[in-house]
Structure 1
Amino acid sequence: MARIYPFRALRYDPARVHMEDVVTQPYDKITPTMQDRYYAASPYNLVRVILGKHLAGDTEENNVYTRAAETLKDWRKEHILVEEAEPALYGYSQTYTVPHSDEVRERRGFIALGHLYDYADKVVYRHEQTFPKHKSDRMSLFKATRAYCEQIYMLYSDPAFTAEKLIFGTKGPNGFDDNPADLAITDEYGVVHKVWKLTDPTLINLIVTAMADKKLIIADGHHRYETSVAYAKERSAQLKLPLNQPADEDEKLPSNHLPSPPFAEAAMMMTFVNMDAPGITILPTHRVVHGIENFSSPDFITKASYYFDIKELDSPDTSILAGIDKTAFIAVTIDGSYLLTAKQDVIDAALQDIPARQRNLEVVQLHRIVLDKLLGLDQETITRLGSVSYIREAAEAISMVTEGDSNIAFLIKPITLEQLKEVSFAGDVMPQKSTDFYPKLLSGLAIYALD
């Protein structure tokens, strides 16, 4: 069962800061340019905690993690960050325009603490691979700050829209909210983020009950989730407290009692979004390969023709992919652009070691056939050399090749929600950055302080 908890969040005091100047995109989406911009925006911008700058004179006693902890401590002393007076859940909506279209969508969910489970417990499911370096970095930050400043983006299924109706009212799931929010922020991408604080114990317990039978899929935040689970296990052993037993399991409690984790580290801050509601957008993440010596696009196309039907294109227009019902993607080289459509029987024979449900996914064929077999870039090599860049915008990926900075770009279709569910609930994982959920959850709306 999925256990969720209200919490007394640390939140920025809007009377002390301009909220647009202190919130950020998630840490793994912050480029060096964005980092500099956030630093300049406000001395209280959250980037100083979640992705501070490494300095030349860093030591074991004074480094990016210790500075993050001191910064958070100072902001609490100065009441820039203030702890809420009572436990709450937080309704959260994001209104946005789908990239490269005029379509406006609203994605609704809520922020709460979510209990941390091993994948083996079959409550929380992943869909992407993770890597030790990223988890080590987040573990150092969590231990230093004793705070979770960002949310895990969790998906669940509820065709009845129970939580949405409790939080946003009985208005249909396709409607836009009219109730005044406690907080409204427009980010640098024009996305409007709104937050509603919910403190009524009866309402909270109804939402807790509604979520109790749900299975969860991590949409964004795999590294943070797995790091949090490892931290919870470590603290469970130190405190001699069981991780998977609710603190109040055997007690007779009044109806207005609010649940809490058995110890602080047993839960992590999450945003829960219903997969059955409208508003979810998954974008493709294109791949750009660089650093291959003596790369020859004619040689590549010759090798690729064993696995794919090849068609030369006048231009690398990704819109043609939408009209192809087979597995297909576009390869962009300095010599031209090509549509690669899978010869599925050949692909199936080459990928006998993975489940059939993954063999027809573009991102899997791209990594296992193209990057690995044709270019000699298995996952270990990619991680070690950093020879693959992951790019949201097709135009940027194309320009990296046409300007001579990279060898070849691969433009792909987005993973669908149904494909994600099938892979996740089967216990499989896809390559890193197989999905790009848009928009991202804003960091700085709430903070879960462990102390």
Structure 2
Amino acid sequence: MARVKPFRCIRPAKELAHRIAALPYDVYSRKEAKEEIGREPLSFLRIDRAETNFSDDVDTYDPKVYDKAKELLDEMINDGSFISDNEECYYVYEQVMDGRAQTGLVACSSIDDYINNVIKKHENTREEKELDRIKHVDICNAQTGPIFLAYRSQARINDVIDKVKKEEALYYFTSADGIGHHVWRISDKEQIEIIQNSFSNLQDLYIADGHHRAASAVKVGLKRREDNPGYTGDEEFNSFLTVLFPHDQLKILPYNRTVKDLNGYSSEEFINKLESAFIVEKLGRNPYAPDKKGEFGMFLEGMWYRLKAKEDITGSKDPVKALDVSILQDYLLGPILGIADPRTDNRIDFIGGIRGLIELERRVSTDMKVAFSMYPTSIEELFAVSDAGKLMPPKSTWFEPKLRSGLFIHSLD
């Protein structure tokens, strides 16, 4: 049974929300983050990536970086840039991209649900990536970047959210990248009860994006439990900041691949090798994105090809092996191009679908030899892998639009 609770939110003053809201910390390099703060000095990146307040010779993970993050957050709370709601509420967060809207519920989810696999995962996490956010959350004493969760759509929750969206919004702005951001507050006790009860009847929630942030938040909560052996379970450190979306509103973009070489093969030899597992069709110079599962685009030496997986390698009952990213890895990248572990092989790179096919062509014309365009993994496939207790290959999903940091802050006090 999922525990999804309202919370006392720290959030931007209305007139500053559009300036403070920032893309997640991990989509930027240090240089890019510094440039973004130069463009918008109030960007939440100055807190999420507090190393940008120092010269480049200061290590990103220096203890004073985290102290600076806390100092800046406290300053913005004290000067009124952030305000604190005095009652526990839910929040509705709608994002609009290219005319398509997705609407999520901002709430706090239980670290016990994470531990007990009510909140299901589909990726492994790396300890070194967790440590940064553990320190950030622990020292700031707050969770500042929400985790993106999905759940199977529920009519009663939808009804409440649809009703709330007819009220006046707390925030209504368009960010520099053209994404619309609209936020409403749910403070009505009856509506809160309906939402809590509806989630309590759900067996499963799913991490769509933010596995490292989730793992870090949970580890901070467990550390606080050790430091407070008399904890009751109701303390704020027992939960973490999430935005929960119904599955039928989510769109997953493809995560495309590029490779530096053909593993010693000539182009002709490489294409001949492909024909053992794929039907290869030369298309010409027009970019090709597959429109069905089991098909792939390939860009090689200025030409696009369609690769169609043969029937004997599709239709696996294993939810991981049935993924297109697995088929490409198991029948092409691994056995032909020699990429045994895409997590560690520096010959392969991954390109988020938001960047389009033109980026694949650009990379092949500069530092890569061949590129593959993918059909996107579906939310149902993500659920199937998670339900089976399995993990997806790396870079299987790209969710867009990204949740903004700094719009909602959850204090651990």
Contact kept, 8 Å, 1:220 with 1:437, in 2: the verdict is yes
Q: 2:105 aligns with which of 110, 114, 125?
A: 110
The answer for the alignment partner of 1:173 in structure 2 is none
Deviation at 1:268, TM superposition (A): 0.6
Task: Provide the secondary structure at the position in 2 that maps to 1:117.
Answer: helix
Task: Provide the secondary structure at the position in 2 that maps to 1:330.
Answer: strand
Deviation at 1:345, TM superposition (A): 2.2
Which letter does structure 2 place at the counterpart of 1:126? K
Residues 83-121 of structure 1, C-alpha deviations (whole Å, 9 max, x = no match): 212221111222231xxxxxx222222101111236562
Residues 347-384 of structure 1, C-alpha deviations (whole Å, 9 max, x = no match): 78xxxxx96233232111223333332222233x6436
Contact kept, 8 Å, 2:150 with 2:245, in 1: the verdict is yes
Separation (CA, whole Å) in 2 of partners of 1:65 and 1:292: 44
Which letter does structure 2 place at the counterpart of 1:64? V
Matches within 5 A, 1:149-228: 149-159=144-154, 161-169=155-163, 177-214=165-202, 215-228=204-217
Q: 2:228 aligns with which of 199, 223, 239?
A: 239
Which of 207-216 and 224-233 deviates more?
Answer: 224-233
Task: Provide the secondary structure at the position in 2 that maps to 1:431.
Answer: coil
The answer for the alignment partner of 2:388 in structure 1 is 426
Contact kept, 8 Å, 2:70 with 2:139, in 1: the verdict is yes
**Ranges in structure 1 where 5+ consecutive residues have no aligned partner:** 98-103, 171-176, 248-260, 349-353
**Ranges in structure 2 where 5+ consecutive residues have no aligned partner:** none
Matches within 5 A, 1:13-92: 13-15=13-15, 17=16, 19-30=17-28, 34-53=32-51, 55-58=55-58, 63-92=64-93
Which letter does structure 1 place at the counterpart of 2:276? Y
The answer for the alignment partner of 1:286 in structure 2 is 256
Deviation at 1:221, TM superposition (A): 0.9
Deviation at 1:335, TM superposition (A): 5.2
Contact kept, 8 Å, 2:51 with 2:58, in 1: the verdict is no
Task: Provide the secondary structure at the position in 1 that maps to 2:177.
Answer: coil
Separation (CA, whole Å) in 1 of partners of 2:367 and 2:298: 15
Contact kept, 8 Å, 1:312 with 1:338, in 2: the verdict is yes
Task: Provide the secondary structure at the position in 2 that maps to 1:359.
Answer: coil
Separation (CA, whole Å) in 2 of partners of 1:2 and 1:284: 30
Q: 1:390 aligns with which of 351, 357, 364?
A: 351
Deviation at 1:151, TM superposition (A): 1.0
Deviation at 1:295, TM superposition (A): 6.7
Contact kept, 8 Å, 2:261 with 2:347, in 1: the verdict is no
Separation (CA, whole Å) in 1 of partners of 2:117 and 2:83: 36
The alignment status of 1:405 with 2:371, answered yes or no, reads no
Residues 383-422 of structure 1, C-alpha deviations (whole Å, 9 max, x = no match): 3637413332233432333422212211001112222222
Which letter does structure 2 place at the counterpart of 1:52? A
The answer for the alignment partner of 1:313 in structure 2 is 283
Separation (CA, whole Å) in 2 of partners of 1:442 and 1:9: 15
Separation (CA, whole Å) in 1 of partners of 2:282 and 2:409: 51
Contact kept, 8 Å, 1:109 with 1:164, in 2: the verdict is no
Give the % identical residues: 26
Is the alpha carbon distance of 1:371 and 1:89 closer, same or farther for their aligned partners in structure 2, counting shifts above 3 Å? same
Which letter does structure 1 place at the counterpart of 2:239? A
Separation (CA, whole Å) in 2 of partners of 1:269 and 1:201: 20
The answer for the alignment partner of 2:336 in structure 1 is 374
Is the alpha carbon distance of 1:372 and 1:117 closer, same or farther for their aligned partners in structure 2, counting shifts above 3 Å? farther
Is the alpha carbon distance of 1:335 and 1:91 closer, same or farther for their aligned partners in structure 2, counting shifts above 3 Å? closer
Separation (CA, whole Å) in 2 of partners of 1:423 and 1:432: 13
Q: 2:397 aligns with which of 401, 422, 435?
A: 435
Deviation at 1:302, TM superposition (A): 3.0
Contact kept, 8 Å, 2:339 with 2:345, in 1: the verdict is no
Which letter does structure 2 place at the counterpart of 1:274? P
Deviation at 1:142, TM superposition (A): 1.8
The answer for the alignment partner of 2:268 in structure 1 is 298
Separation (CA, whole Å) in 2 of partners of 1:281 and 1:137: 29
Deviation at 1:3, TM superposition (A): 0.7
Separation (CA, whole Å) in 1 of partners of 2:345 and 2:64: 25
Deviation at 1:298, TM superposition (A): 3.2
Task: Provide the secondary structure at the position in 1 that maps to 2:335.
Answer: helix
Deviation at 1:226, TM superposition (A): 1.7
Separation (CA, whole Å) in 1 of partners of 2:394 and 2:333: 13
Separation (CA, whole Å) in 1 of partners of 2:179 and 2:393: 28
Separation (CA, whole Å) in 1 of partners of 2:307 and 2:191: 52
Deviation at 1:71, TM superposition (A): 1.5
The answer for the alignment partner of 1:253 in structure 2 is none
Separation (CA, whole Å) in 2 of partners of 1:224 and 1:317: 35
Task: Provide the secondary structure at the position in 1 that maps to 2:241.
Answer: strand
The answer for the alignment partner of 1:132 in structure 2 is 127
The answer for the alignment partner of 1:10 in structure 2 is 10
Separation (CA, whole Å) in 2 of partners of 1:139 and 1:123: 22
Is the alpha carbon distance of 1:365 and 1:65 closer, same or farther for their aligned partners in structure 2, counting shifts above 3 Å? farther
Task: Provide the secondary structure at the position in 2 that maps to 1:188.
Answer: coil
Is the alpha carbon distance of 1:347 and 1:56 closer, same or farther for their aligned partners in structure 2, counting shifts above 3 Å? same
Is the alpha carbon distance of 1:86 and 1:373 closer, same or farther for their aligned partners in structure 2, counting shifts above 3 Å? same
Contact kept, 8 Å, 1:186 with 1:192, in 2: the verdict is yes
Separation (CA, whole Å) in 2 of partners of 1:329 and 1:82: 49
Which of 390-399 and 290-299 deviates more?
Answer: 290-299
Residues 111-158 of structure 1, C-alpha deviations (whole Å, 9 max, x = no match): 011112365623111223433332222223222322111111111123
Separation (CA, whole Å) in 2 of partners of 1:347 and 1:166: 41
Q: TM-score by structure 1 length?
A: 0.82
How many residue pairs align between the two structures?
408
Deviation at 1:346, TM superposition (A): 4.9
Deviation at 1:181, TM superposition (A): 0.7
Contact kept, 8 Å, 1:124 with 1:216, in 2: the verdict is yes
Is the alpha carbon distance of 1:108 and 1:382 closer, same or farther for their aligned partners in structure 2, counting shifts above 3 Å? closer
Residues 309-349 of structure 1, C-alpha deviations (whole Å, 9 max, x = no match): 22222135334x21x4x51111212253322211242578x
Is the alpha carbon distance of 1:233 and 1:428 closer, same or farther for their aligned partners in structure 2, counting shifts above 3 Å? same
Which of 65-74 and 147-156 deviates more?
Answer: 65-74
